[in-house]
Amino acid sequence: MIVGRIFIKLLRLAATEYTMRPIYMKNMLRQTVSLFVLLLFISLLAFGCAPKQTMKSADLLSTPNLLVEADASWQAKRYEAAELYYAKLLERPDLVKSELPTIYSRLAESAYQSEHYHQARIALEKWANVDTSALELVAWERTYLNVMNALGKTERLQNHLKWTLESTNLPWSTRREVAFWYSDYFREKGDFERSLDVLDGFYKQAQDMTARSAFEHETLQRIYEFDDKTLTEFSTSVNAENQWRFPYALVGFEHDVRTASDPEAWSSVWRNLRSLSANADLADLIPIEVKLAELEAKYGLPRIGIALALPLTGPYGKVGVKILRGAGLAQWRLAQEGVDIDLRVINTEAVGWDTRLAELPNHYSVVGGPLRVQAFKKLYESIAPGERVLDDRAFFTFLSSLGGLEEGSEAWRFFTSRNDEVRSLVSLAVDELNIKNLAVFYPEEKFGRAMAETFYREATPLGGRIRGMQSYPSKDLKQWGKRVGKLLKVPANFSENKDVPLDQPDFGAVFLPDGWGQAQTLLPNFFFYEGEQLVFLGPGLWSRALNSAKDIDEHYYRLAVCPGAWWELSDGGRALQNNLTEEGLGQADFWVALGYDFLRFSGKMGALPSNWDAAEVNKRIAMAQGIEFSMAPMTWDDQGVGSQDLYLFSPVRNGKQLVDAEKLTRRIIRAKARRERRVEAYEQRMEEEKIKQESSIF
C-alpha cells in the first residue's frame, strides 16, 4: 500500500511537470517515469508477489503428517515452526515412543535457535530421561552448553566441565567437541590461559596418537584463524615450563611464524622453531617441520653472535680456559643440531681488551663475562651512560654481584649470588631442620662483612631470627677462641670451672662466612665451648675447596653444611661428563659447566635486534631459561633478576656428599642427648658429693 501511494504521488508530480516544461524536459520525464514503473514492478514481484511460507495448523494434521511437517521445517531450518510442530507432537497419544529421542533433540535445538532457552533446557532434560546415553552424544552436549551459556548458568558450566573431564563413558568425539566449545567460551571471556588449559586437559585423554594428531591439526587451524591481537594475548600464557607441550607449543609456533618476516626477529624466531621441532611433545611435528623449511628457504639460516670476555692468561687463566672448553663443547653440539653460533673470545688480561670488545660487529649482541670485578668495572666506570661498552650489548657476568648497577636493566648475572647461598642455608635450617634461631660469626674483612649483612637481611623473610652476631679479626688467630666464647656467652671464669656444664646458646645454627682453611681452625673452638650440637653453615667457598679435600676430620663437620652450584653426580653433571668423554675433552667441573650452560642458554636467546632494550632481553631470558642445566639450575624473574637453586653438601673424609636433612636431624638429636647425659652425670656427681659432705658432718 505504501509503495502504491508513493507511486501515485510521483505520477501526479510528473504530470504537473509535464505540462509546464519544454519538449526536451517532457521526454526526460517520460523516461524517468518508465524507469520507475519498471523498478516498481520488480519490487512488487520481490515483496508483494513472492510466495510466503505459511504454517499449517498442527491441530488439523494427523500425527504422521505432523511429523512430516516438523521434519520438513527442521531440514529447512525454519526453527520456530519446527519448535511448534515438535512440541505439538509430544502431546499426541499415538506418537511412536521410538521417535522421542529425535523429537526432543530437534525440539531442544529449535527452541535454542528461537531463543526459547527454558523450553530448550526442558527438552534436553526429557531427552536424557528417555535415553540415558544422550549425554554421550555431540548433539546433546553442544546444545546443552549453548543453552546454559545463554541462561548465564556459569556455575553449572563449571561443574559440567569438571564432570566431563572425570567421566569415563564419553566417547572421544564428544570430548573433542566439548573441549573446543569450552576453549571458545573462555576465550570470549578473555580468560586465555583457561582456554588453553581446557584443551590441554582433554588432549591428555585422547586414546591414541591418531586422535592426538587430529586434535593438534584442528587446534592449529583454529589458532591460525586468530587475529594478531588475540594470538598475542594467547602467547602470554606460554612460558618455559609449558612451551613444549600441547597446545602451548602450537600457540608459540604460530606466534613465531607471524613474526618471522621481521628481519630483526628472524634469528630468535628461527631458534625457537628449531627447538620446537626438536623438543615439542606433539603427536605430529610435520606441520612445524614443513613451515620451518619454508621459512628457512625464504629468509636463510641466521648466525647468532656471542662473545666471551674471559681471562685466558694470568692468575685466572686456567679458569677462563675451562669456561671456554665448556662453551666450545656447547658450540659443537649446537652445530650438530643445525644451530650456527658465531663465538668470539676476548682475553680480558690483554691490554686494550675493552676496545676490541667494543669494536666487535653489532651481531655479537650477547656477552658472557667478565669473570673478575675489576674487568667488569672497566666497562662502565669513568664513561657517561650511553657511551659505555656496557650499553651496546647484553652482558651476563660471571660474578656474584653487579655492584652498584641494576640487575635486569643495565646488566645480567649468570652466576651464583650471595643471596642464593644464604637462602639455601636459611631454608634448610628453618624449613627442614626446624632451627629458627640463628647466629653469625664473621671475619672483619670485606667478604665476611658483606656475607654477614646478606645473611642478616635474608634470614628474617625466610622465618629466621638472628640471636647472635660476632666478628673476629681475620689475621689474629689468638683472638678467635675468645670471640667464639663471647658469641656463646661463656662465663669469664670458665677456665677455673671447666667441669661445670655451660649454658646452651639461644641459637641452633651459626653462619661462618670464611674460607675452608679458616673453618678448620674455627670449628674446634666451638667444640671446646660445648657447641658440638650447633649446625655450622658455611659459604660456597667450602664447597669448592671440598672438591679436592682429603683426610677431613669428620668429627668436627658432622653438622656442617655448605652450598654449591656443581654436583658431578646430578643428571646434568653426568650428561656433561658423557659429552666431554665422547669428544675427548677431559673432566667436568663447575667452570666447564658454566661455559657449557651459558652458550646453550644464550644461543637459545638468539641474536638481539639492533634496537633491543632490557624488556626485550628479559623476554628472551624467560624463554631460554628452560634449558637442561648441567650446573645447579638458574631462573630469572620478570625483571631479569637471577637466582640459583643450589645443592647443599656436608663434608666427609675425602670430599663432600649431598645433605640428608633427616640424617642431619638425627645427628642433632644425638648431640643434644650426649650433652644431656653429661649434664645428668655432672648433677649426679654434685649430688653424691653433697651427700658425702653432709654425712661427714654427722
DSSP structure string for 198-216: HHHHHHTT-SSHHHHHHHH
Which pLDDT score is estimated for 368? 97
* Band of pLDDT at residue 300, cut at 50, 70 and 90: confident
* Model pLDDT, residue 38: 38
C-alpha cell at 600: 646453550
Kindly give the residue spans of alpha helices, DSSP state H, lying in 345-471: 353-358, 373-377, 418-427, 446-459
Distance (Å, whole) CA 59 – CA 70: 13
Task: Band the pLDDT of 2: cuts 50, 70, 90.
Answer: very low
For residues 285-299, give the mean pLDDT.
92
Q: What is the pLDDT of residue 54?
A: 53
pLDDT over 80 (residue 658): yes
Least confident span in 268-282, 419-433, 522-536, 591-605? 268-282
Q: Write down the domain spans for the chain.
A: 2-45, 304-412+570-628, 418-564+660-674
* Model confidence band, residue 55 (pLDDT cutoffs 50, 70, 90): low
| pLDDT band for position 501 (cuts 50, 70, 90) | confident
Helix (H/G/I), strand (E/B), else coil: 309: strand
Residue 260 vs residues 245, 394, 619, 691: alpha-carbon distances, Å: 21, 22, 17, 93
Share of the chain above pLDDT 90, in %: 63
Residue 579 has pLDDT above 60, yes or no: yes
Answer yes or no: is pLDDT of 366 > 90.
yes
Whether residue 101 has a cis bond before it, omega within 30° of 0: no
- Our CA angle for 640, 644, 650, nearest 5°, is 165
DSSP calls for 667-698: HHHHHHHHHHHHHHHHHHHHHHHHHHHHHHH-
Q: pLDDT, tens digit, for every residue of 230-268?
A: 999 999 999 878 989 999 999 999 999 999 988 877 877
Distance (Å, whole) CA 481 – CA 485: 6
Tell me, what's the pLDDT at 696? 65
Mean pLDDT of 530-541: 93
Q: Which helix (H) or strand (E) holds 658?
A: strand 655-658
Sequence letter at residue 535: V
∠ Cα 429 432 438 (to 5°): 15
Model confidence at 36: pLDDT above 60:
no
pLDDT band at 15 (very low <50, low <70, confident <90, very high): very low
Q: 418-564+660-674: same fold as 304-412+570-628? A: yes
549 burial (CB, 10 Å; 0-12 / 13-18 / 19+) is middle
Mean local confidence (pLDDT), 195-219: 95
Q: Percentage of residues in the chain with pLDDT exceeding 70?
A: 88
Q: How many CA atoms lie within 13 A of 191 on its CB side?
A: 10
The per-residue pLDDT for 9 is 45
Is it true that domain 304-412+570-628 has CATH number 3.40.50.2300?
A: yes
Of 337 and 126, which is predicted with more confidence? Answer: 126
Cis peptide before 51 (omega within 30 of 0): no
Least confident of 202-206, 333-337, 383-387, 416-420: 383-387
Give pLDDT tens digits for 152-184: 999 999 999 999 999 888 999 999 999 999 999
Query: Would you say 321 and 592 are in contact if contact means Cβ atoms under 8 Å apart?
Result: no
DSSP readout, 478-526?
Answer: HHHHHHHHHHTT--TTGGG-TTSPPPPPS-SEEE--S-HHHHHHHHHHH
Q: Across the strands, what pairs with 648? A: 563
In this predicted structure, the answer to whether residue 666 has a pLDDT above a threshold of 70 is yes
- pLDDT band (50, 70, 90) for residue 18: very low
Tell me what the mean pLDDT of segment 282-306 comes to: 89
Residue 51, pLDDT above cutoff 50: no
Fold of 418-564+660-674: Rossmann fold (3.40.50)
Q: Once rounded to an integer, what is the mean pLDDT over residues 358-383? A: 88
7 pLDDT band, cuts 50/70/90, is: very low
- Please, where are the H alpha helices in 551-613? 571-583, 590-605
Task: Give 69-127 pLDDT, tens digit per residue.
Answer: 889 999 999 999 999 999 989 888 888 888 899 999 999 999 999 999 999 999 999 99
Q: Classify the C-alpha dihedral 545-550-556-559 as positive or negative.
A: positive
Looking at every residue in the chain, the average pLDDT score rounds to 86
| 250-278 burial code (b ≥16 CB/10 A, e <16) | bbbbbbbbbbbeeeebbbbbbbbbbbbbe
Mean pLDDT, residues 303-309: 90
For residues 10-23, give the mean pLDDT: 40
pLDDT at 339: 79
pLDDT (0 to 100) of residue 28: 39
pLDDT band at residue 35 under the 50/70/90 scheme: very low
* Sequence-ordered list of residues with C-beta below 8 angstroms from that of 478, at least 6 positions apart, any chain: none
C-alpha cell at 259: 613474526
